[in-house]
Chains A and B, each alone.
Chain A
Amino acid sequence: MRRSWWKVLCVICLGYTVIGGILMPVPRLNIINESIRNLYYHVPMWFTMILLFTGSFIYSIKYLRGGNLRDDVYASQLTNTGIFFSILGMLSGMEWANYTWGAPWSNDPKQLGTAMSMLIYFAYIILRGGLKDDEKRAKISAVYNIFAYALMIPLLWVLPRMVDSLHPGNGGNPGFNQYDLDSNMRMVFYPAVIGWFLIGLWIATLKIRWGLLKFEKENNFQFEFEKNHNNNA
């Protein structure tokens, strides 16, 4: 176990979210009723996805500036974990929508924007799978990743706000913080976001460490050379 204090914090926050999220009082509202508790689980999926994609975006820029293939491992594994969380967010959202909006898919602009963004990121995986040369794969996918991130921001945060949407905070619907997210819910929601952030980072670091091990095994000779080169310089 490496650097484990934040992993302990993650377990504490998420344990509290699982127990407190069910037992703590919530506002009594029509239509959503008890399902308002999904806020603690569905929404942090997207927050975690954004965090991981932002990390991936930063490492892609870092790769393009420095040309270190280890940054490419970071970028690709952060994106993979982000896609994992986006799938969880989409599935949980569709389940929630089925019982509150009446159908799992109602062509809500935020749903559509997210689906487009997910397809863009799926293409990232396909693109990486199709290129065999390490350097070429790293360079092309880094550039692609930067464009994917630049597209995700308007698709998720700008366009859904400009049209009518069933999501709160869009098209005249009030955001949760204005009326519904009362102090009782904040007491669970904020630790929940921290906990989900940390578990996302934890999974991502595991995948990155595994990716680095694989990379170093494959490029053992190159790695040694680089080390000697750095020592001489």
Chain B
Amino acid sequence: MRKASFITTLLIPITAIISKAQTANEPEMADTMRSNGKIYVVVLVLATIFAGIIAYLIRIDRKISKLEKNK
């Protein structure tokens, strides 16, 4: 009887550790980057590059429109 209860008291924390390990086994994502807000730096850089490309396209568009008017 005493032996059995000893085993169960040993088993409970072990199963707890195993189940915790299983949740930790979930696919790894960039959660740290998200929690400390560094992901917004990435978004800022991408948005800057994107804005630059769009500004460049608009400039070319305006230039071609001007040429079309002058022909």
Contact = CB atoms under 8 A, between A and B. Distances in A.
Given A18-B43, A23-B43, A2 B54 contact: no
B64 A206 contact: yes
Interface in B32-71: 39, 42-43, 46-47, 50, 54, 57-58, 60-62, 64-65, 67-68, 71
Contact of B57 (A28, A29, A202, A210): A202
A203 interface: yes
Interface residues of A, number: 24
B27 A206 contact: no
Interface in A13-54: 14-15, 18-19, 22-23, 28-30, 33-34
Contacts of A15: 47, 50
**SS class, residues of chain B in contact with chain A:** helix
A119 B12 CA distance: 63
Given A1-B65, A2-B65, A19-B43, A206 B57 contact: yes
Interface in B1-47: 26-30, 39, 42-43, 46-47
A33 B47 CA distance: 23
A28 B26 contact: yes
Contact of A34 (B30, B58, B65, B67): B30
A interface: dominant SS: helix
Contacts of A23: 39, 43
A224 interface: no
Given A1-B62, A11-B54, A18 B47 contact: yes
A2 B67 CA distance: 13
Interface of B: 26-30, 39, 42-43, 46-47, 50, 54, 57-58, 60-62, 64-65, 67-68, 71
Interface of A: 1-2, 7, 11, 14-15, 18-19, 22-23, 28-30, 33-34, 199, 202-203, 206, 209-210, 213, 216-217
12 contacts: A1-B58, A1-B62, A7-B58, A7-B61, A15-B47, A18-B46, A18-B50, A22-B39, A22-B42, A34-B29, A202-B57, A213-B68
